[in-house]
Amino acid sequence: MLYNMIELGKVNSELAESSDRAAAVLGAVLLEGILGQLIQSLLVRAPGVSRRVLGRGSDRAALSTFYQRIEVAHGLGLLGADEYADLDAIRRIRNYFAHGKQGVSFVDDKPRKLCASLTGPPELIRGYCVDNAQPRPAYEFAVLLLLHEIDMRIDEVSEPRPSRPQSYHWLKQHYKDGVSWDNWLFQTRDGDVIAVT
């Protein structure tokens, strides 16, 4: 577990003590990192795979951006619809602050509206963004809830994985067991049927 209650308390303190810009960027960076951990938990354990897929400070990796990680985690069924929407809102808030002019704030129209769109578990987050003049607490709370939830999800999906699957294992096993290839037919993309003899 990466984010136990002590670690979440430290994150909460750091977010609370940061400027609006720093809090917006920090929350997104932490979520981007834990999404990487979630996806990594599904990767094979082989040299260089994690680096090539997730990257380590490289934009050449397949899933090196926050956006890519959100989309893939959602596509793999690792995120619920509300988590997906909240992560995307946090990503957009981060972009607003990262690329915004000097003096940007959570009370600016765009981040205020994005904070108002955060769903989280409604019974937990409802009181944090009702007052649109104070959207930052909703952002911070959503970050903490998502860190905890994704951390728990890593535990749910993690299981020992092979270094690499054996190539054509199923076919080799059936061939070894004496399965006749005489009746195997394959259809090509063009619709042609090929008999394997």
Q: What is the CATH number of the domain that holds 14?
A: 1.20.120.330
Q: DSSP letters of 79-125? A: S-HHHHHHHHHHHHHHHHHHHSPTT--TTSHHHHHHHHH--SSHHHH
Determine, yes or no, domain membership for 139. Answer: yes
Domains: count for the chain: 1
Read off the pTM. 0.76
pLDDT score of 132: 42
pLDDT in tens, 69-90: 899 899 889 999 999 999 999 9
Q: Which residues of the chain have pLDDT under 70?
A: 1, 44, 46-47, 49-50, 54, 56-59, 61, 121-133, 160-197
pLDDT score of 134: 76
Q: Which domain holds residue 151?
A: 5-157
pLDDT in tens, 85-125: 999 999 999 999 999 888 899 999 999 999 988 887 666 65
Determine, yes or no, domain membership for 162. Answer: no
pLDDT score of 160: 64
Q: Quick one: which of 4, 5, 49, 2 has its CA closest to 162? A: 49
Determine, yes or no, domain membership for 167. Answer: no
pLDDT score of 125: 58
pLDDT score of 113: 93
Dist. CA 137–CA 118, nearest whole Å? 11
